[in-house]
Amino acid sequence: MATAAPGARRSQAIPTTTSIVEDHGSYASSCGYCDREGPTSKSHGMHAHVCSVEDYQSLLDRGWRRSGRWMYRPHLNDTCCPPYTIRLDACAFAPTKSQRKVEKRWRQYLDGELDDDGKRVAVDDRDEDDSKRADEPSASSASFESTANPSGDREKTHLEKTRSADATPKAKRLTKRVFEIREAPSAFDEEEYRLWRRYQASVHGDDEGSLGKSSYRRFLVDTPLRLRQAPVREPEDDEEQGGWVEWAGYAATEQKRKENDAGETDAETRTVRAPSNGFGSFHHQYRVDGRLVAVGVVDVLPKCLSSKYFFWEPSFAWASLGKLGALREIEWVKNASKTCASLRYYYLGYYIHECPKMRYKAEYRPSELKCAVTGKWTTLDDPDVVRRLEGGSFAPLRAPEAAGDDDRDEPKKKDAEKTKIRLGEDEVNAKREEDVVSVARDVLVGMAAGGQILQVAPFSLARQGPLGGPAGATLARRIETWRRATGDAGDAIVYLVDLERVAPEVVADGGDSGGASDESASDASDASSEGAMGAS
């Protein structure tokens, strides 16, 4: 527990729903989707110590994604293979013929007609009714049925029951299998870990020696999302934020943001109920007669189920378990929407049109991509959208909303040139610095040292204390870039600053740090779960 510095102001306590992130700015790495050499994949990254489900939903809709506690957003107009956020309206989904065939084949396996290798079981006296029965509705594809575990813990089991053994004469001759999907909050499970190792080695060709428990935890278990059973704020229309990439001929995104801010009202905040197991990060265990055959790693958010990863038993490659898992997750969303009306979408991560491994995502229709320039969702059924995706270069996914957009931007460019001539470079740069401070001033900054958050305050106040001087000016530019990247979600997120790195002289002086009281520092430590600077 941190001790308040002498004469320090009492810090604002951090509620449990607050998000706390550590910004790492832009970075480049090698691309896993193309053959280009060097660090051609460029993104903005941040480490999330804790994140509310509402904030993460907003970040998803602004192009962000998480891998464990690491959150990143590709620089779409400056990366080799621009990935677009893709989602499906689960309530409007209709399976294709090939998707129905996956369901049918799985049904045959559960009915005992196929063995563990996917080969047909020989049965005597097979009649016509038996062969037709595979096309009839089956309980194996019915809605999830939730049942409490006998142990009485928080885990719940969704059990898909097969037909009873005496349903038909054929059922007496074949061995039925019990298929169940168990849903539990994200946690390390040895059985899941062993399955993941087999999957990575067999399907992706990874060296098992590199597939340690720490890698598995970091990738698929660790999460900044807190389990939440209580109602949450009803999600706002994410399209109102506009886009985040400036593009010639389109209305400036910054102007759109200012117009939205000016039009904000203090309307009553409405809430939506949580689904049966709450919001947060979960693992869906797929079991046949008790045997673990697949695991789906998902995030349940106010608007969607976000599919993070799916891995399966390599010996079941014949069953297309990846596709089956997607169909089950879509069904989960349909059922959840009956309780939580806003939760109607299935997010499939990123979509890269030129990447063959990702084309399958477009098969779940009607799918939409988020246009980073306009901020609008665009349907993949539109031939014009597909045309814009071809070639692999980034481009807006839809035309400007109004023909006047082109003309509207031209006067702004001319005014900017006139201003530069009239005022000179120095004054223009000074005005730019004012804009930077204006964007950054209201961002909540969490000032930390020694693994503890000492104080949380708006950046404008922090500039008057610990973050004054040149260090504060440099930090203001970083915060401005981050704030534009996070959009509306940045209003509620605490931006973590390591005083020992940014302003070591303040920490050395002791009493000028503006530290928190014992109680608020304890709240901050609890909220970040691993300590403000302790997680890596």
Query: How confident is the model over 69-89, as pLDDT tens digits?
Result: 999 999 999 999 999 999 999
d(CA 172, CA 336): 36
Preceding omega of 396 cis (within 30 degrees of 0): no
Residues 6+ apart with CB under 8 A from 272: 231, 232, 233, 234, 235, 302, 340, 341, 342, 343
Predicted pLDDT at 2? 37
CA–CA distance from 338 to each of 44, 88, 282, 311, 344 (Å)?
Answer: 36, 17, 20, 28, 9
d(CA 536, CA 525): 15
Distance from chain centroid for Cα 311: 18
Vertex 338: Cα angle to 98 and 335 (nearest 5): 35
DSSP reduced 3-state for 332? helix
pTM of the prediction? 0.81
Q: Tell me: pLDDT of 427 over 90.
A: no
Q: Tell me: pLDDT of 64 over 90.
A: yes
Contact between residue 492 and residue 19 where contact means Cβ atoms under 8 Å apart: yes
Contact between residue 480 and residue 458 where contact means Cβ atoms under 8 Å apart: no
- The 8 Å CB, 24+ separation contacts for 503-509 are 503/466, 503/467, 503/469, 503/471, 506/466, 507/449
Predicted pLDDT at 144? 45
How many other CB atoms are there within 10 angstroms of residue 335's CB atom?
17
Query: Any idea which residue has 């037909």 for tokens?
Result: 163
Predicted pLDDT at 470? 85
User: How many DSSP H helices and E strands does the chain contain?
Assistant: 15, 19
Contact between residue 433 and residue 519 where contact means Cβ atoms under 8 Å apart: no
Residues 6+ apart with CB under 8 A from 319: 102, 105, 106, 109, 118
How many other CB atoms are there within 10 angstroms of residue 268's CB atom?
5
Three-state SS letters, 501-533:
HHCHHHHHHCCCCCCCCHHHHHHHHHHHCCCCC
Q: What is the band of 283 on the pLDDT scale with cuts at 50, 70, 90?
A: very high
Query: How confident is the model over 11-55, as pLDDT tens digits?
Result: 444 444 589 999 999 999 999 888 899 999 999 999 999 999 999
From the list 445, 459, 460, the residue with the least C-alpha distance to 524 is 445
Residue ranges per domain, the chain?
19-24+407-528, 91-186+278-345, 191-221
Q: What is the mean pLDDT of residues 262-290?
A: 86
Query: How confident is the model over 124-154, as pLDDT tens digits?
Result: 554 444 444 444 444 444 334 443 343 444 4
Among the residue ranges 146-160, 195-209, 521-535, the one predicted with the least confidence is: 521-535
Contact between residue 202 and residue 336 where contact means Cβ atoms under 8 Å apart: no
Mean pLDDT, the chain, whole residue set: 81
Who has greater pLDDT, 268 or 294?
294
Query: Any idea which residue has 């797929």 for tokens?
Result: 286
* Bridge partner residues of 64 (DSSP): none
Q: Tell me: pLDDT of 97 over 90.
A: yes
Here the tokens at position 410 are 């031209």
Among the residue ranges 247-251, 337-341, 367-371, the one predicted with the least confidence is: 247-251
Maximum average pLDDT range among 295-299, 447-451, 499-503: 295-299
DSSP state of 140: G
Predicted pLDDT at 255? 58
Predicted pLDDT at 383? 95
Query: How confident is the model over 455-467, as pLDDT tens digits?
Result: 999 999 999 988 9
Contact between residue 260 and residue 325 where contact means Cβ atoms under 8 Å apart: no
Residues 6+ apart with CB under 8 A from 533: 22, 448, 451, 496, 498
Who has greater pLDDT, 427 or 299?
299
Residues 113, 117, 118, 124, CA torsion sign:
negative
Give 214-236 as a DSSP string.
HHHIIIII--SBPPB-S-EEPPP
Predicted pLDDT at 186? 98
Predicted pLDDT at 256? 59
Q: Tell me: pLDDT of 430 over 50.
A: no
Burial class (CB in 10 A: 0-12, 13-18, 19+), 37: exposed
Largest CA distance in the chain: 94
